[in-house]
Structure 1
Amino acid sequence: MGDAARQTFCMHPNDVDRKRIERALDARARYRYVSPQVRAEEGGYRIQSPCCSRNVDQSGGVIDIAQLEYVSELQTWRLYRKDHARHEWQLYAAFSALSELLQFLNQDPDRIFWQ
């Protein structure tokens, strides 16, 4: 595959990976009774969900869960968490594959994302 074809293939966001992320979120360990949304953003995706715990939004409104960014130069996926108190995204980890990132996000052992 030539460089131009490879670059086109790796462009994010795209509908194939957005659907892949949506399907993968069905296997999450926490807050399975809400329906998260995956939105395309420049260079990646944003995951949002109703705040059923009321820990972040007392009214249960839609909150940011995670931001996923593909860095083509590094062939790396970056996972960001939302600091809701400061209203800013913070880099949490980097993964070599989207599947690894999604597996980690679905488990969320420290409740960093699904609060």
Structure 2
Amino acid sequence: MIVGSGVNPRRPAHPNDIDRRRIERALKSRDRYRYVSASITLVAGGYLIKSPCCSRNIDTEGGIIEVALLRHDSASGWWKVFRKDHKQCVWKLHSTHRRLAAVTDLLNADPERLFWQ
């Protein structure tokens, strides 16, 4: 470790609060359910995105549902994006991306409504 670099080689790069805020800010530009606030939680290796279920397709009471799970692979540097299969209660790998901006662009557009259900 280089003294004074501020980098801890034992601490993983993700999750971190700077990227959590970056994701939070980016999701304000999404196409679906802009009138509710998504929450981004730090989880091992990434971020969990939750939001109120406005469509009531998943939760008829409009409760908080899991929207996406973002995991950063520190070995490859790629982002893995998972969508929630609410019927089976499992996470399914949706895609991989080199940059976090590509991930938030995907979540913001969501043309097939796989995330913002």
Letter in 2 for 1:16: I
> Structure 1 stretches of 5 or more lacking a match?
none
> Structure 2 stretches of 5 or more lacking a match?
none
Q: 2:70 aligns with which of 68, 71, 74?
A: 68
Q: From the CA coordinates, give the structure whose radius of gyration is larger.
A: 2
Moved more, 6-15 or 73-82: 6-15
Please name the residue that 1:107 is paired with: 109
With the length of structure 1 as denominator, give the TM-score of the two structures. Answer: 0.92
Q: Distance in 2 between matches of 1:10 and 1:111?
A: 32
Please name the residue that 2:21 is paired with: 19
Q: Residues 37 and 76 of structure 1: is their aligned pair in 2 closer, same or farther, counting only changes over 3 Å?
A: same
Q: Distance in 2 between matches of 1:8 and 1:25?
A: 30
Please name the residue that 1:30 is paired with: 32
Q: Distance in 2 between matches of 1:48 and 1:8?
A: 29
Q: Distance in 1 between matches of 2:105 and 2:10?
A: 26
Q: Report deviation, 1:11.
A: 1.1
Q: Distance in 2 between matches of 1:10 and 1:70?
A: 10
| Over 4 Å off, 4+ runs | 6-10
Please name the residue that 1:53 is paired with: 55
With the length of structure 2 as denominator, give the TM-score of the two structures. Answer: 0.91
Q: Report deviation, 1:8.
A: 6.5
Letter in 2 for 1:12: H
Letter in 1 for 2:57: N
Q: Distance in 1 between matches of 2:8 and 2:111?
A: 35
Q: Distance in 1 between matches of 2:10 and 2:66?
A: 28
Q: Report deviation, 1:30.
A: 0.4
Deviation track 1:23-56 (CA, whole Å, cap 9, x = no partner) reads 0000000011111100000000000000010000
Please name the residue that 1:85 is paired with: 87
